[in-house]
Structure 1
């Protein structure tokens, strides 16, 4: 045997987002269930064949999903909350993901949360003492393994590991006090053993169990659960006579103080480590692996960024592993699943205007397969065997490092000139609030939305035609102004207090700004999955960032000219632009974040000068950027807070600064959130059943807060009674004179009929509470 190659997972959407279009057509009723399943099977088969053709030895299966792989595991193991159990099949599956309000059924979706420090959103299942795990008949992992086998491709099935499955789950709201979800580990492992044995019976030789929690700070109890889980699993598999080998995959950080634990897990034949983000743990990993007989999978090709791998550096790392363990015990792999990478560079190389220099710096999922194979061959057969590939790679790496497009001395000098006085508002919040109340004259429980309104097919077509040059600039602007006028009138008719212009001109909350910043590039087809069918095309931050001209002032001031009500200027914050982009890896992220912050600061100041009195700087990604190890938190939070303050504090007291955050757990960073000192903070809370609000309640948030009263990731229209219940719960956290009433998030993905219905209910809810407050005052 010799060194082999593998990846941990492949992007699902397809080269041209075929899966997105297929599932959305199914939801609209224009594609049947049979057509959906057949189309999904075709996509899977195409992806397996790509990996096989590129020469990958261990090809994963079950990494494909119609919505989310963690939700898939919940269905596979029978962890279905009671409210969905009257449903079945895809109706049940998508009800859990998106909610369902049809045919007499009205159920909300499960919550949604960020997967570690990525922009991928997973669906955590809710667990209770009543949860009974049961392996699904003809389960998805077995089906997809057999699909690949029928093509002549023997895959390594992927399953989220049992301990990480529990740690990613949430405790049901109605669970008894003291319920510990980790106590379910024995019954869960029993079902895992059944599945693994079944896969083995169908011919699987290896199973990949993802245990990313092995890279976080585990409590002694959690560490003990890992040992217990894998001891039980090994025992059960031995009892069935199974000979399947287990690879435990970790990623996004190094193993650190969990290294000995990982390599001592019973019944495990290989451990995967991320050497892109966890290089500091490599020495300890090699020492632990040398004492064991397990294989070591080394993740040396970055699965989370678009830059070409430095093949020479990667070969040296793999060679260290081979020298320590022997070639037969080393696997060359991606650092994590390629789910977080775009599909292929092929589409970037077509068209009239191809930026060959920019494209030459990058590597997408298909190209990363090639890099892994080149590294494997270089170590296995010698560098001369792949010398042309190594030469071309070294040339690209050197060219990028010395490109004049990357370094801007003026931007670097401005960053060095930042003073502490640029990180504080002129007055503390109570004084600002007095000034803002007089200027804005808002009612109690003021209503607003988070920014975007429905992006219709017509809007998307107009933007596409403008980019292609088939619509002139003046005609494009006229059409968008018509849409903005419609949105403003719509909000006035609903009697919303603080309006937004609807963002008709924006394709994406990060991409729109990235397109107008120097030092940022874009791909034609570099889509990655964010959640469900939602895909984003992240900017590529390749150099020093600056703002050459105003980005939003013209559209916002036009919208303000149509109404006497306050119009919010809508911006994306520096941390979110950073985290939701593919970021340069040749300087600390802190420097890049603060360069972006200075660009956003310029826009904030220009909006204020143009007469905009309310400005929202969205920062949904601030928690996402938090390092996975607590020892790194303080450093990150210091520069992250400073970056937001740098972007937001250049205005007068009368300008009300808002921010928005969503789909993350904020309990651990409440001090930092308070330090952001925005006047009004809106948060997602409806989809998470007010879980996020509890963090603000425990820490007594001092400024104004707008917890979402309805979930925007569903077609379901939340009734006023449901919203009123949420407001009552909010008032246990914050006094009514500091509460705003708003949605969880932007309305971009919703249709107009449901948007109108749910916003009417929202306004009625706010007015009902105003009436109660007025009656009490009388």
Structure 2
């Protein structure tokens, strides 16, 4: 009998109820009691969705902010006596560092052991009243994703932590638990594997059925997971490059249940449920198989209802609820019930969106399209002569606050209730206000504010052929922050200028340089659902050519600085480093296609978000930009360590203001980050800026914070 199990269903809600509730509490519009009741109701809706399609699912997946942080609280790494203390650690003055969850666009809060007396204890019973399939992130993943652990103590700490997990299981009387251990798919050392085996021995003495789930890639030694004292093992059979499936042929099941992740939880393309059923049938000859999804479903929108997609595309895609239905359909096919399944797969192989002229441009790329003829050392002299910027130039990353009025007017225009002409007049007014504010604050390089842009990827998706937007396909990124990933379904083409009009207008209002703001090909791919019928490198080159054409039009309009945001450059890298060269080859080349044919005096900037940069500095340098801005505020400038190991000869802006928090840092709080950086980076190469765009902040926070940034730059110039 084919059983089904779904996990990771979105907490956000179809109408982003999660965001409304949490932010309502932050704004003082909801009491704690009202917030808790609202979250409980939202979770009930999630569980009702599970029940419609699958036989079982985890309990306790819901969080107020982040599940890894919740797990750290449960086991006493942090303590929060109240909800306000909880949120202070998420987004307040004492906020934890944030980084990407494996190679996804979800951000988690990083547990930090620096200065801590490591003594695990049961600090919070999140699972009170839950008996079956209690959801937890596993002990190895919790420690592996933490930072500043005492040197040489990992094995000892993991063993102690596992003992606390055991205590937690017994205290709650769990019949079964769901342990997410995605860190098992990393390239583990022999020592780490032995540490896991030693720690998991703790679980031999408990009757609780422990099911361990791995996802996002293959486990290099899958047998060791089956050898652990667990009842079931979840494996990813979608993103494993065939490696998990190959290993399963030689695995000794040891009587363990196999949770076969055959439905893609990270991309929207419909499953061929008949092919998936064949995999399940074959595996069932050897294993007790449960059909499940590969990776957390919260990487997908809730469901297709109300999605604004072409009919041909609707017949090819599935969101989270439809993915649960696919689990049911696969089970149906295994049982011999095929009618609904045949209807489901009817349109998945029909091609559309082919543009031969675009494919021809990619085929015709030569070395000159990847390499600038003028080296950086010569370019920077031309740029300095043209721009005449002071030491420690100040700028922001791109966007300014998307106020309620901006969002309201944009929505009216989308609905056809405000003419394009009136909308354009409104946007020009907002741009003019932003230029005036920047003039008054004394910034050196301006931005136009991006008031016309809903999202840094979605905006370009709306302007490019071959990419569809979803309308209400919201996905969580961090905390309450959500975005709508577009769907790249065909060949990508720019048929007219996308952003030139607004940038040129902004530049006409000031003598200061205004940056042209573009999103790079890697980030557009990473934060979209990318087609899988052609190599991703070809998709990247198609997008890069569109951006190259936009830059050429910027130059015709007199724009002197262009920023190509590649926030997802590190994020998109494969989890296993042995696969990095293949990825970074096309990722670097696609960025270079964007700007290789631009004028040497046009200064090319890039921006990258929260990620571990130290291991990829050489790849970053290969992008051949002139200036890069990256996060340094939450990590307190730890990124500087990466620059101590290479000859980083470009200009750099380290973010000194964490824009993901409403807290406004003082000059005194920002200066140590810069001072630390200047021990490694020459002052002539250093910019001062926030760590990301200001779209989610309020003007009341932005203006004083930017004023402090400008003051900081002036003080640095006086001290230089």
TM-score scaled by length of structure 1? 0.91
Return the alpha-carbon distance in structure 2 between the equivalents of residues 533 and 751 of structure 1.
16
CA contact (8 A) 1:167 1:182 kept: no
1:574-614 Cα distance to aligned partner (Å, 9 max, x none): 00001000111111111111111111111111111110000
Match of 1:132 among 119, 131, 153: 119
Q: Give runs of aligned pairs for residues 387-406 of structure 1, distance below 5 A.
A: 387-399=338-350, 402=351, 405-406=352-353
Aligned residue in 2 for 1:197: 170
State yes or no: 1:407 paired with 2:407.
Answer: no
1:451-490 Cα distance to aligned partner (Å, 9 max, x none): 0011100000010000001101111011111110000110
Worse overlay, 673-682 or 696-705: 696-705
Aligned residue in 2 for 1:88: 81
Return the alpha-carbon distance in structure 2 between the equivalents of residues 371 and 189 of structure 1.
35
3-state SS of paired residue (1:398) = coil
Q: Give runs of aligned pairs for residues 580-619 of structure 1, distance below 5 A.
A: 580-619=527-566
State yes or no: 1:160 paired with 2:122.
Answer: no
CA contact (8 A) 2:353 2:491 kept: yes
Q: Give runs of aligned pairs for residues 207-356 of structure 1, distance below 5 A.
A: 207-234=177-204, 238=205, 242-255=206-219, 257-265=220-228, 267-325=229-287, 329-348=288-307, 355-356=310-311
3-state SS of paired residue (2:43) = helix
Aligned residue in 2 for 1:516: 463
User: 1:684 deviation in Å?
Assistant: 0.5
Structure 1: 5+ residue runs without aligned partners?
A: 100-106, 147-154, 774-778
CA contact (8 A) 2:309 2:468 kept: no
3-state SS of paired residue (2:518) = strand
Instruction: Name the one with the larger helix percent.
Output: 1
Match of 1:540 among 475, 481, 487: 487
User: 1:648 deviation in Å?
Assistant: 1.6
CA contact (8 A) 1:700 1:733 kept: no
User: 1:220 deviation in Å?
Assistant: 1.7
Q: Give runs of aligned pairs for residues 304-703 of structure 1, distance below 5 A.
A: 304-325=266-287, 329-348=288-307, 355-379=310-334, 381-382=335-336, 385=337, 387-399=338-350, 402=351, 405-703=352-650
CA contact (8 A) 1:617 1:658 kept: yes
1:243-291 Cα distance to aligned partner (Å, 9 max, x none): 2111110001111x321221222x1111111111115124443235445
3-state SS of paired residue (2:41) = helix
Equivalent residues, number: 719
Aligned residue in 1 for 2:59: 61
Aligned residue in 2 for 1:152: none
Match of 2:104 among 118, 133, 148: 118
CA contact (8 A) 1:501 1:556 kept: yes
1:407-427 Cα distance to aligned partner (Å, 9 max, x none): 111111110000011111221
Q: Say if 1:568 and 1:279 are closer, same or farther in 2 by CA, change over 3 A.
A: closer
Return the alpha-carbon distance in structure 1 between the equivalents of residues 675 and 410 of structure 2.
42
Return the alpha-carbon distance in structure 1 between the equivalents of residues 414 and 299 of structure 2.
27
User: 1:180 deviation in Å?
Assistant: 4.1
3-state SS of paired residue (2:644) = helix
3-state SS of paired residue (2:452) = coil
1:648-670 Cα distance to aligned partner (Å, 9 max, x none): 22211110000001111112211
1:416-456 Cα distance to aligned partner (Å, 9 max, x none): 00001111122111101111111000000000000001110
Aligned residue in 1 for 2:72: 74
3-state SS of paired residue (2:491) = strand
**RMSD of the TM alignment (CA)?**
1.5
CA contact (8 A) 2:271 2:345 kept: no
3-state SS of paired residue (2:689) = coil
User: 1:185 deviation in Å?
Assistant: 1.3
Aligned residue in 2 for 1:42: 41
Q: Say if 1:668 and 1:369 are closer, same or farther in 2 by CA, change over 3 A.
A: same
1:216-241 Cα distance to aligned partner (Å, 9 max, x none): 1111221111111111232xxx1xxx
Q: Say if 1:633 and 1:169 are closer, same or farther in 2 by CA, change over 3 A.
A: same
Aligned residue in 1 for 2:158: 185
Worse overlay, 461-470 or 276-285: 276-285
Return the alpha-carbon distance in structure 2 between the equivalents of residues 735 and 720 of structure 1.
21
TM-score scaled by length of structure 2? 0.98
